[in-house]
Structure 1
Amino acid sequence: MNTSVKASTITFDDNSMFVSLSDGRLLGVPLAWFPRLLHATPEQRLRYTISTRGLHWEDLDEDISIDGLLAGVGDLTHRHAAAA
């Protein structure tokens, strides 16, 4: 776990989310990895909070860890449901 790297800003285009990290990296991931964000309105996507551990969208009930993004992990909601 790389807890020293934090998100500083988040931006979107029609297909991707871009997370600027505190160490200067810019991480781009497809919105298809996160169906809640993919199907959200642009206004909903912009209502996020950044914590020391990751990203949160209260309205969408979406939480994304920075460690997960760095590891290339998308939405785990359906994977957990399928394993249960």
Structure 2
Amino acid sequence: MMEITKIWLTPTEIWIETADGRQACERFADYAGLRNASPSEREQYTLSPYGIHWEHLDEDLCFEGFFQHTAS
């Protein structure tokens, strides 16, 4: 399980930072629920040890998934 130390939102993405300093993001445009949500709806998420959940938007992002498609 990855330790997340920081989460922040930009107008187009959600970013995470791990305890070892790695950063990654997911684009809202890639997820229908997040793409169509208002900024205030995007801010209403909850965290679990494994990811981020937007109950009212019916969206979930797994922390591991943030790093599956980053370029090396």
Given that 1:45 and 1:57 are in contact with CA atoms closer than 8 Å, whether structure 2 keeps it comes out as yes
| Whole-angstrom CA distance in 2 between matches of 1:53 and 1:18 | 15
- Is the partner of 1:10 in helix, strand or coil? strand
Cα displacement (A) at 1:24: 2.0
Q: CA deviation at 1:63?
A: 0.9
1:15 and 2:12 are equivalent in the alignment: yes
Report how many residues are paired: 69
2:46 corresponds in structure 1 to 49
Identical-residue share of aligned pairs (%): 30
Report matched runs for 1:1-84 at 5 Å: 3=1, 5-72=2-69
Unaligned runs of 5+ in 1: 73-84
Matched residue of 1:63: which SS? strand
TM-score, reference length from structure 2: 0.77
Rg (Cα) greater in structure: 1
Q: Which residue of structure 2 aligns with residue 75 of structure 1?
A: none
Unmatched runs of 5 consecutive residues or more in structure 2: none
Normalised by the size of structure 1, how large is the TM-score?
0.68
3-state secondary structure, aligned to 2:34: helix
Write the letter of the residue equivalent to 1:25: R
